[in-house]
Structure 1
């Protein structure tokens, strides 16, 4: 989107050199910020409601994990193409379109559920929504730098994650109440409405013109674009190691949400409202991590921040299967999500900082494709093992492996990377 130079938000070196206004006073970032917060508020309903729909109909954590795996596989497939698409189209229009498509898809579920449960519909709608969501997520990453400039990426990402997590505190509580009173399908309907509001907000966001565009003859086709993103990751030592380490971490942790819900409802015998409260406590942890990440990274550097966060994730995960009291489950969930948020914000900010603007979509998509490819299988394996052997040994084993990943990271360029 192009417009008069004196009206556009400054990007790149302009922003860094001109001592920009505080983020909360930048109009376009503020509108974008609000849109994402509202979207997460509704999306937290689906995070709880969809597994509950499956669990209420089947009582099986393995079926919950299968739904998570199918949705994850769709995300991986979409990520293969998302970067090339994002780098070729109007990114604002893409984000709006993705929100509108998810509004329609999620809106079908509560309508159909009025006439009775149809589990097959979840296995159709969720993969489609996850695929569309991947296109949105890659586009989302690419526009943040254009809104705030390179020098404030960690701060901006932290603010976005913090307010999204704040919305996530209210969302799970409300989702638990709605699910208990009106059924989980109604909570999915709230999620559909949230995407419509997000799309309306994005209409008013202005994005700066992209810098350093490639000439048309340098972009001959889709497969060249895919190789370009993967090639950049392979040449950058920290991103190369980070992609490999996160592949193992994602394999182990994608099914964690299903595991916590099953533990609370099946092992401990609590209701949907309790599930919502625990998820809200986890979101409080995400807020804490998002607010602290910029300060911690400045003090410790990328490597120590990332490896420390992953190690704490592993310890919290290992403890989740052992504890029997709801407050303890809530505290460990909060610790896990706080550190996931810190590690994720560091990872995303690093990619945004070191990747040229015209490659950002392709590099982001390649990064997510490569490190997330095995995660759906991991979710299926984790939930199958929990149903067969119980949540306690499975959580302990997965948590120990996460700690091992953090230890291995210390001997790679990730662990050796200096403070910024």
Structure 2
């Protein structure tokens, strides 16, 4: 494999690994510092809002600026925001306000960084002489590895190091991601000038119009959001409540490890056989297999059945998410890639907390097993709607040039 895709994949691994460590370590550090679970929730909510806004509006910048440069800068923003926490802790001591402020600053690096890296992928495949299927599958497999290693590493680091010192590790991973991206030639990130729209706000609207006017993009985005919603509800609330009630909280980690291992296996299968299998076959296999897995999980039988269900979900979600990644790369117009993927990433960021809130309400008012079944039913309905696969052949409807901007250019 050539240097360009290796550098890209290495940068992606470093970024996701750092985020997975921070996702476990940061809430624990907030709890240790403030002693309040409410404070941890406040930090999560305060950082989610700027993350969504950054995803919605920073796509315009990514469609204007060299995407390799955008990726490097956003990783440096993330590294700086995380590194500032242990510095502040050493100088003055951390408080809730510092967590919120630096978390909000870091949010302007996280989602835009993810978007910039995704927008860069087609050029990486082209210049690296690698098929999109192999590159996307390898990216998903590395993401699964990071999800396997990150939480375990976070737990070990929290046991060995004092409080905020752990965050130096996540800052270093973001810095390494930026430095690794610099190995990609600057010319690879060059942006194609394909939009006739001039103003930033008009470009935001152009991206939204293209996303909403295309049935293909609406279905693809909807499937992604439903998948994140269902997985988020199970991981963030249903399974923790179940294992706590069973007085087996330690087994939650095993189940999440099984899920990540399944993702790794499914992504690896797509890397090996992606181009040789019809996409409708991948779609049906991924959808129906994940329906079975969620059904087994939602039954909340013995803990090992939940573990098996999580593994099955992981395998077929790995196939499914790899296919959606390839479709996004191939079908999203390059001139709009930053805005459309930024919007999708912003929506994904918002859906995760929403899933936990909805699951909490269901558990409170209808019961744990009933809530699990209802959440799984959401995925069943989405899978049935998407299974015929006719949307795979639909074209992406381009956004017409906005009249006021055309007049402004004359």
- Would the alpha carbon gap of residues 172 and 291 (structure 1) be closer, same or farther in structure 2, given more than 3 Å must change? same
**Aligned partner of residue 187 in structure 2, secondary structure:** coil
Q: 1:238–1:414: 8 Å Cα contact kept in structure 2? A: yes
Q: Are 1:359 and 2:336 counterparts?
A: yes
Q: 1:65–1:383: 8 Å Cα contact kept in structure 2? A: no
Aligned length: 390
Distance 2:325 2:53 in 1: 20
The answer for the alignment partner of 2:403 in structure 1 is none
Q: Are 1:238 and 2:216 counterparts?
A: yes
Deviation larger for 401-410 or 146-155: 146-155
Distance 1:101 1:388 in 2: 42
- Would the alpha carbon gap of residues 124 and 93 (structure 1) be closer, same or farther in structure 2, given more than 3 Å must change? same
Post-superposition shift, 1:135? 0.7
Distance 2:99 2:305 in 1: 32
- Would the alpha carbon gap of residues 37 and 267 (structure 1) be closer, same or farther in structure 2, given more than 3 Å must change? same
Map 1:3-152; keep pairs closer than 5 Å.
24=1, 26-53=2-29, 71-110=47-86, 118=95, 121-149=98-126, 152=131
Distance 1:63 1:403 in 2: 36
- Would the alpha carbon gap of residues 235 and 415 (structure 1) be closer, same or farther in structure 2, given more than 3 Å must change? same
Q: Are 1:349 and 2:326 counterparts?
A: yes
Q: 1:76–1:373: 8 Å Cα contact kept in structure 2? A: yes
**Deviations 1:201-254 (Å, cap 9, x if unpaired)?**
122221435474237xx2311222123223333444322322234444444433
TM-score in terms of structure 1 length:
0.77
The answer for the alignment partner of 1:292 in structure 2 is 269
Q: 2:133–2:275: 8 Å Cα contact kept in structure 1? A: no
Post-superposition shift, 1:27? 0.9
Q: 1:320–1:333: 8 Å Cα contact kept in structure 2? A: yes
Distance 2:171 2:238 in 1: 24
Distance 1:388 1:321 in 2: 17
**Deviations 1:281-314 (Å, cap 9, x if unpaired)?**
3322221121122456545533443354344445
The answer for the alignment partner of 1:380 in structure 2 is 357
- Would the alpha carbon gap of residues 369 and 111 (structure 1) be closer, same or farther in structure 2, given more than 3 Å must change? closer
The answer for the alignment partner of 2:198 in structure 1 is 220
- Would the alpha carbon gap of residues 307 and 238 (structure 1) be closer, same or farther in structure 2, given more than 3 Å must change? farther
Unaligned runs of 5+ in 1: 1-23
The answer for the alignment partner of 1:18 in structure 2 is none
- Would the alpha carbon gap of residues 371 and 173 (structure 1) be closer, same or farther in structure 2, given more than 3 Å must change? closer
Q: Alpha carbon RMSD of aligned pairs, Å? A: 3.7
The answer for the alignment partner of 1:19 in structure 2 is none
Distance 1:192 1:178 in 2: 14
Q: 2:85–2:94: 8 Å Cα contact kept in structure 1? A: no
Post-superposition shift, 1:128? 3.9
Unaligned runs of 5+ in 2: 395-410
TM-score in terms of structure 2 length:
0.79
2:235 aligned to 257, 263, 266, which one? 257
Deviation larger for 297-306 or 403-412: 297-306
- Would the alpha carbon gap of residues 375 and 43 (structure 1) be closer, same or farther in structure 2, given more than 3 Å must change? closer
**Deviations 1:330-378 (Å, cap 9, x if unpaired)?**
4433333333333222222112112332222223224444666555433
Q: Are 1:154 and 2:148 counterparts?
A: no
Distance 1:51 1:348 in 2: 30
- Would the alpha carbon gap of residues 47 and 375 (structure 1) be closer, same or farther in structure 2, given more than 3 Å must change? closer
The answer for the alignment partner of 1:21 in structure 2 is none
